[in-house]
């Protein structure tokens, strides 16, 4: 189940990237609230806009569109790892910042998401008319982990170099910076 949630979060991140590109093509950056105008915005319009932007370097989102169309999209450089988080909860952020300093802001992206809302805790009315916490009753609910994903991406042209750099500097990059001691 956890893997499914992670995959879903990752898909949402992909959607976000397409949406960002798409938003720049919309009047005012937003979909129309008029129902007919909204329904006229189909996949065809989106694909046309993507292709047009990918072929025309004068359009502001040309680079993003070209990367999507020609599958030159950003590739994973780093993903959240429980061992790293145990050492430094800001591992993703630090690696992202270091990658920007090393490879340039335009070549690095980060997608980070942590589940909102709390534990699945609600009162359960039992057959003997007493009430107990759902977490006490259900082992399954107790075992659902908090979903947290953190990805750092790099342009494909620099991926090999970046992976080598990360491998060589991982220990140093994971040292917690924000401490007062």
| Selected binder of another protein within 118, 127, 128, 172 (CB under 8 A) | 118
CA distance 166 to 94: 12
Contact region for another protein (CB under 8 A) — 33-41, 48-56, 141-149, 162-170? 141-149
Contact region for another protein (CB under 8 A) — 8-16, 103-111, 135-143, 163-171? 135-143
Contact region for another protein (CB under 8 A) — 59-67, 71-79, 132-140, 159-167? 132-140
The footprint of another protein on residues 66-85 (CB under 8 A) is 85
CA distance 152 to 14: 13
| Selected binder of another protein within 60, 114, 140, 169 (CB under 8 A) | 114
CA distance 46 to 38: 12
CA distance 65 to 101: 25
Closer of 63 and 79 to another protein (Cβ): 79
100 is an interface residue for another protein by CB under 8 A: no
119 is an interface residue for another protein by CB under 8 A: yes
89 is an interface residue for another protein by CB under 8 A: yes
Closer of 61 and 150 to another protein (Cβ): 150
Closer of 42 and 117 to another protein (Cβ): 117
Residues that bind another protein (CB under 8 A): 85-86, 89-90, 114-119, 121, 132-133, 135-136, 142, 145-148, 176, 178-181
């Amino acid at each position: 189940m956890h893997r499914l949630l992670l995959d879903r979060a990752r898909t949402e991140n992909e959607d976000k990237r397409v949406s960002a590109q798409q938003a720049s093509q919309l009047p005012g950056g937003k979909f129309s609230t008029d129902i007919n105008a909204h329904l006229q915005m189909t996949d065809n319009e989106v694909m046309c806009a993507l292709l047009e932007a990918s072929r025309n370097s004068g359009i502001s989102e040309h680079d993003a569109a070209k990367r999507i169309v020609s599958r030159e999209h950003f590739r994973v450089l780093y993903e959240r790892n429980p061992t790293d988080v145990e050492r430094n909860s800001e591992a993703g952020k630090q690696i992202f910042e270091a990658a920007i300093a090393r490879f340039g802001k335009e070549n690095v992206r980060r997608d980070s998401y942590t589940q909102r809302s709390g534990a699945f805790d609600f009162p359960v009315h039992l057959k003997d008319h007493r009430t107990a916490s759902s977490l006490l009753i259900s082992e399954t609910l107790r075992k659902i982990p908090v979903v947290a994903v953190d990805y750092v991406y790099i342009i494909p042209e620099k991926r090999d170099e970046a992976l080598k750099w990360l491998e060589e500097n991982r220990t140093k990059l994971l040292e917690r910076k924000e401490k007062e001691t």
